Amino acid sequence: MKKIWALCLLAVLCQGVYAGAAAKGKKKMENTAKTETATLAGGCFWGMQEILRALPGVVKTTVGYTGGKTENPKYEAVKTGATGHAETIEIKFDPAKLSYGAILDMFFKMHDPTTPNRQGNDTGSQYRSAIFYYGEAQKEEAEAAVKRAQDSGRWKRPITTEIVPAVKFWPAEDYHQDYLKKHPGGYTCHFVRN
């Protein structure tokens, strides 16, 4: 009987060690997977996050603020337009599954890039359309995406999207993260246009 208990205990311990090693291996794989970052502003960040997180190849999305002059901005200040920040989404993506250009093409389908400092009912510089690029390759792809969007005929007015170097990104408060997942049917002015 003691041998059976000893074998059972050994089996349980081995299973725990194996499960722990497997979990560590999976975490290591996740941490070593090559990802890139895209940072975009196009109106209220809730609706942008809801659409972009669904793209195959998107690993993580975070809503926040960038492009302004205030350190560690908070929503109450950003919403006044006084900080210079835009409501922004930071997208971590796997370039083997999703290209930067494809993200930008979706960006130009889900918001109106022809209305300076405005998306739907939201007005102010915090709702501007902007691409914050990381490096020359992203800058060139952003310029090409603007041209594709303008040439598509989808927009009758000129595109006013800013293409500017990425600066410090400040994550928004927790209650803004995954807002439409937490509050289905909540406010958004974003939808995908053909």
The CATH number that applies at residue 39 is 3.30.1060.10
Report the number of distinct structural domains present in the chain. Answer: 2
In a domain, 193, yes or no: no
Q: Is 121 exposed, middle or buried (0-12, 13-18, 19+ CB in 10 A)?
A: exposed
Identify whether residues 66 and 96 lie together within a single domain.
yes
CA 118 to chain centre: 20
Residues annotated as part of the active site: 44
In a domain, 17, yes or no: yes
| Cα separation, 103 vs 174, whole angstroms | 24
pLDDT exceeds cutoff 90 at 180: no
Q: Give the domain range for residue 112.
A: 34-182
Q: 41 falls in which pLDDT band (50, 70, 90)?
A: very high
Q: What is the mean pLDDT of residues 122-141?
A: 97
39 touches 163 (CB < 8 A): no
Query: For the whole model, what pTM was predicted?
Result: 0.82
For residue 61, how many C-alpha atoms fall within 13 Å in the half-sphere facing its CB?
26
pLDDT in tens, 75-125: 999 999 999 999 999 999 999 999 999 999 999 999 999 999 999 889 999
Calculate what percentage of the chain has a pLDDT beyond 90. 74
Q: What is the mean pLDDT of residues 65-69?
A: 96
Residue 123's contacts (CB-CB under 8 Å, 6 or more residues apart) are: 117
Q: 32 falls in which pLDDT band (50, 70, 90)?
A: low
Name residue 117's amino acid. N
